[in-house]
Amino acid sequence: VPEDELSRSSHSNPGKSLVNGIKTNPASNSPKSSLSVPVGPPVYVDLAYIPNHCSGKNTDPEFFRRVRASYYVVSGNDAANGEPSRAVLDALLEGKSQWGENLQVTLIPTHDTEVTREWYQQTHEKQQELNIMVLASSSTVVMQDESFPACKIEF
């Protein structure tokens, strides 16, 4: 197919041959290739919420290699469901170690859990090496009849 025909067909039928904004060959789509994530540059953000209450079901080192944040929020307080997951906290260390730049990262746990305490103590040296700081909640917010720990973040 000549290039001008290809560009016309993609304009007349936008998105038909695009997967996440990348052109694909519809004839070669297989289940395996449609599940692969296209390689691309990392995304830098100020604040990222670790998905699914820091569950290991869908967050791995690749997430931390590609989503590079100054602050990561770890919410999870359900040990029975593996939230937060030690594997995800370890994935942060692995992913950050591959950044190639030693940017400051702050981890903000929303709950004080046994998993986060153990991880913090056992990997403290690695955290320092990778310029990762874990922010302890130092304030308490009182709303109506409820009070909870909180952290102030300034950008």
pLDDT, tens digit, for every residue of 27-77? Answer: 444 444 445 556 789 999 999 998 876 777 778 899 999 999 999 998 877
Number of domains in the chain: 1
Tell which residue, 45, 47, 49, 22, has the closest CA to residue 34.
22
**29: in domain:** no
- pLDDT band at residue 127 using 50, 70 and 90 as cut-offs: very high
**132: in domain:** yes
DSSP, collapsed to helix, strand or coil, labels residue 17 as: coil
Which residues span the domain enclosing 84?
43-149
The answer to whether the CB of 74 falls within 8 A of the CB of 89 is yes
pLDDT of residue 131: 97
Whole-model pTM: value is 0.66
**104: in domain:** yes
Helix residue spans in the chain (DSSP H): 3-12, 31-35, 51-54, 61-66, 86-96, 114-122, 124-129
